[in-house]
Structures are given as structure tokens and as C-alpha cells.
Amino acid sequence: MTFADLNLIDPLLRALEMLAYQTPTPVQAQAIPAALAGRDLLAAAQTGTGKTAAFALPALQNPANEETSVGPGDVRVLVLVPTRELAEQVFNSFCDYGHFLPLRGLVAYGGVSIGPQLKYLRNGTDLLVATPGRLLDLYQQRAFHFDEVRTLVLDEADRMLDLGFARELDAVFAALRHPHQTLLFSATFSADIRSLAGRLLHAPLQIDASPRNTAVSSVKQSLVTVDKKRKTELFCHLLKKHRWEQVLYLSAPKGCRHLLETLEYQGFPADASHGDKPQHIRQRALDRFKQGEISILVATDVAARGLDIDELPLVVNFDLPSVAEDYVHRIGRTGRAGASGVALSLVCADEAPMLRAIEQLIQQTIRRSEERGFSPEHRVPQTAPEGQQSKPAKRPSSSAKTGRAAAHGAKKAANPGRSKARSGGKASAAGQRKAKKNPTDRH
Ligand code: AMP
């Protein structure tokens, strides 16, 4: 199958040719025709398998076919994502795919000045990629209205629909006109979220482009058991031993700060990205890491979802995430777009219940080892065989981001400057969601 077989318009096909995309990935092959036909979608596909193009291409084609241009305050395609960095990345993908289309577009997230975003939106836009907190701020300041939204996309939809973003999502669903098209995409969907999503969608096509809640098989997963207090020491030892060239190190916020100090003290080229840092510092750390200026990026789960770092070879989990699905997203930063990758977790005895929940979710036992000189005093118990396990832990939620920018025609034009803001959690469309905690990036 080729992209031309999917009935995409010529400007999109030219952009794909420019990007050297030759064949649609499975999620693209299934999602694009259905979305072009106006269907609602609930689409699950593994990390790094092309979900962005699967929703962006049809989302761009539909407004491109409109005969009238947007009026003041209009938004035709609204894309919501949980973090600022992901907003920036998804918007950039829209700019790439829409390079030959004369569409207006803006990315809006917190942590940067809202003024330019307000100004841009008041003139109307075909596309708005936003984090929920900033979206609501803009709406409350009457920068735009929802009357013309034809397509709503929730990327990382399970995170968007969990409790952290409840207030914002409820406001969006209440304000949207009917009918509109809703496209939900993620690599993980719990049964609860599937059922909630099902109630928000109209006769959705459910796509499962791969086994549910799994990382791609090209990610080689393993874990080293170690005592909690020796994790940083172990990581520094492994860094010296293996001379890793590029490693994304994911941790809870407290672990991030301590590790960065230690790495800097020991002379490793590292930087950090977490919710306590100003947005421009966060983005700069990520950009430096992507460009190879630093070899270690220490990050919280703000970097766990959706980020596409070209051929990232290694992800290290300093600790296991507090939600099993987040493990799948974390390790999915490597092994993307057909590349191979390694995911290593440093696991202590306290984390045995979460390890069990993760292994149940991914339905595999992660290969474990010990590092000589770091044998734990407190053993990590083996996960019980299938059928003897207790129920996995329930999930909290997370994240937020910010942004700005505009594309006119092929360009990222008007970037209304960056400022900061906030973002938020998720939640319970009309009170249907279950309460959970949101540990990440909200402010
Ligand atoms: P995503 O899962 O959308 O973040 O995409 C993961 C990576 O795959 C990105 O670097 C995309 O540019 C790339 N990609 C997506 N679709 C295709 C395709 N059909 N052919 C080649 N590369 C692709």
C-alpha cells in the first residue's frame, strides 16, 4: 500500500515524499481512510509507530478541502496533548505534513506569554495544537470559540482522559458543537479509559494496530536489582563502564535533582528537564540532548509521553513510574520508527508491587540481573506466574506543557512568542471518570 492509495490530496503526498515516507505504517493505513470518511476513532498503536501522521494527515486534509477561510475566533482542528514539549513536537509535525497547504496554525501552551497567542487566535486559525490548561485560559479570555471545531484530536488520549485534565476536558466537551469528529490516539488504554472514551465517541472505529499496552519488540528490556540508596552510585558506575553516548534518564522529580547534581559534580555532560524548570530551560535541555550537545538528559515523566528523539539508543528508569502504563511510554522513547533500542530499569525491593503491575500489563517478565559490587541487601521478589498475581495498581495521571507558534502555508509563521503557563490533568467527562492523582507537570 502507498499513501496515494489512501486518497490523500496532492499537497500532503508531496510533503510525505519530501519527508521520504514511503509506505504507511499499520496505524496510518487503518486510521487515515476512516478519519477521512469522517469516522470517530479510538486508535491504539505502539510507541514510535507513526500515530502523529495517522491523525495529522486526515486532520489537515479536511480543512484544506473547505472552500471558505476561517473567520475571527474560528478553530477548525483542535489537537490536545498533555505536555508542552509534545505540543511543540506535534505542531512541528503538522507544519511538516502541511508544508504545501495554505493553512493557519498555532501551538499554544502555558509557561510562555499568552498575549501573542490571544492575538493570533482572534483572527481565527485552521489548526490549534494546545495543552488543556492554556486552551482554557485562551477560551476564557474569548480568544476563540468552539463553534467551528470540526475535528478534535486527543493525542496520548488515555492521559488526557484521566483525572488530571478533568476540568479542562469537561469544558471542551461541553462547548464543542455537534456533530464533530473525535480522534483518540495512544499506545495504552486501560479498560476504564476505553469505556469512558467509548461514551465520548460516536460509533467509533476501534483500531488496535498492535498487541495492546506493549512496547515495540525492538526495545530490549532489562532490569538491574539494586538497593534504593545505591541507585545513583550504580548509574554513575554503569555510565563509566559502558561509556553510553546518549541516554535518557527518567525519574521522579526528587531523583532528578539529586542525580543531576551528582552527574555535574562527576563531570558528565548532562542537563535536566522537569516541571520545576522554566519552560524555555526545559525546551533548551531537550533540544541540546536531541542535537547531541549533551549525552545525558535527566527528566521526569514530562518527557515520557510522545517525544520523538531520533534514534535514541537507551532509556534508563531510575525508578519505576507510579502508573504501569507510563512504563510503556517511557521505554517507548527508544526503538522508534523501526530502530532498535535498550530500556534498562534500576529496581529496588520497594518497587516489587509496581514491577509486578508492569509485567502483568506488558504480559512479559523483564530480564533481570545484578551488577557486581551492587548486589542488593533487600531482594526484589520474582513476579508470580500468570494466574497467581494480584490486580495491578491503578493509575494516577500527569503532565502539562506550553507553547506557541504559527504556520502559514508551509511555514511556521507567526510564533507568538513564548511565555509560560500551565497545564493540567485529566478527568471525568461529566463526572464519569475515576478519581486519581496527577503527579506531574501541572502548574
Ligand atoms: P510517531 O509515532 O508519530 O512519533 O512517529 C515516530 C517516527 O516515525 C517519527 O520520527 C516519524 O517521522 C516517523 N514516521 C512516521 N510515519 C512514518 C512512515 N510512514 N514512514 C517513515 N517514517 C515514519
State the CATH number of the domain containing residue 48: 3.40.50.300
pLDDT along the chain (443 residues), means of 10: 95 98 97 97 95 98 86 97 96 98 96 97 98 97 96 95 90 90 95 89 93 87 96 95 94 85 92 88 93 93 89 96 94 93 97 96 95 92 60 38 30 31 32 36 29
| Nearest CA residue ID for atom 4, ligand 1 | 48
The answer to whether the CB of 25 is under 6 A from ligand 1 is yes
Instruction: Note whether 193 and 278 are same-domain residues.
Output: no
> Shortest CA distance to 297 belongs to which of 272, 267, 315?
272
Instruction: Note whether 140 and 254 are same-domain residues.
Output: no
The answer to whether the CB of 51 is under 6 A from ligand 1 is yes
Burial code (b: 16+ CB inside 10 Å, e: under 16) for 147-178 equals: ebbbbbbbbbbbbbbbbbbbbbbbbbeeebee
Helix orientation angle between 324-331 and 352-362, rounded to the nearest 10 degrees: 70
Instruction: Note whether 204 and 226 are same-domain residues.
Output: no
Range of the domain at 349: 219-369
Instruction: Note whether 178 and 104 are same-domain residues.
Output: yes
Q: Which helix (H) or strand (E) holds 362?
A: helix 352-362
Best of 32, 216, 308 to mutate for ligand 1, by most ligand atoms within 8 A of CB? 308
Q: Please check whether residue 214 lies inside any domain of the structure.
A: no
pTM: 0.85
The answer to whether the CB of 425 is under 6 A from ligand 1 is no
| Nearest CA residue ID for atom 20, ligand 1 | 21
Cβ neighbour number for residue 376 with a 10 Å cutoff? 17
- pLDDT in the model for residue 306: 86
Q: Please check whether residue 384 lies inside any domain of the structure.
A: no
3-state secondary structure of 392: coil
Cβ neighbour number for residue 195 with a 10 Å cutoff? 11
Q: Please check whether residue 124 lies inside any domain of the structure.
A: yes
- pLDDT in the model for residue 388: 52
Instruction: Note whether 302 and 342 are same-domain residues.
Output: yes
| Nearest CA residue ID for atom 6, ligand 1 | 48
Instruction: Note whether 196 and 243 are same-domain residues.
Output: no
Distance CA 325, CA 218 (A): 18
Q: Please check whether residue 169 lies inside any domain of the structure.
A: yes
Q: How many folded domains does the chain comprise? A: 2
Instruction: Note whether 188 and 232 are same-domain residues.
Output: no
Helix orientation angle between 253-265 and 231-242, rounded to the nearest 10 degrees: 50
- pLDDT in the model for residue 255: 78
Q: Please check whether residue 423 lies inside any domain of the structure.
A: no
Instruction: Note whether 190 and 258 are same-domain residues.
Output: no
Q: Is the dihedral of CA 300, 305, 309, 312 positive or negative?
A: positive
Instruction: Note whether 194 and 226 are same-domain residues.
Output: no
Q: Give the burial class of 22: count Cβ atoms within 10 A of its Cβ; 0-12 exposed, 13-18 middle, 19 or more buried.
A: exposed
Instruction: Note whether 278 and 172 are same-domain residues.
Output: no
The answer to whether the CB of 21 is under 6 A from ligand 1 is yes
Instruction: Note whether 156 and 105 are same-domain residues.
Output: yes
Instruction: Note whether 17 and 152 are same-domain residues.
Output: yes
C-beta of residue 88 within 8 angstroms of C-beta of residue 130: no
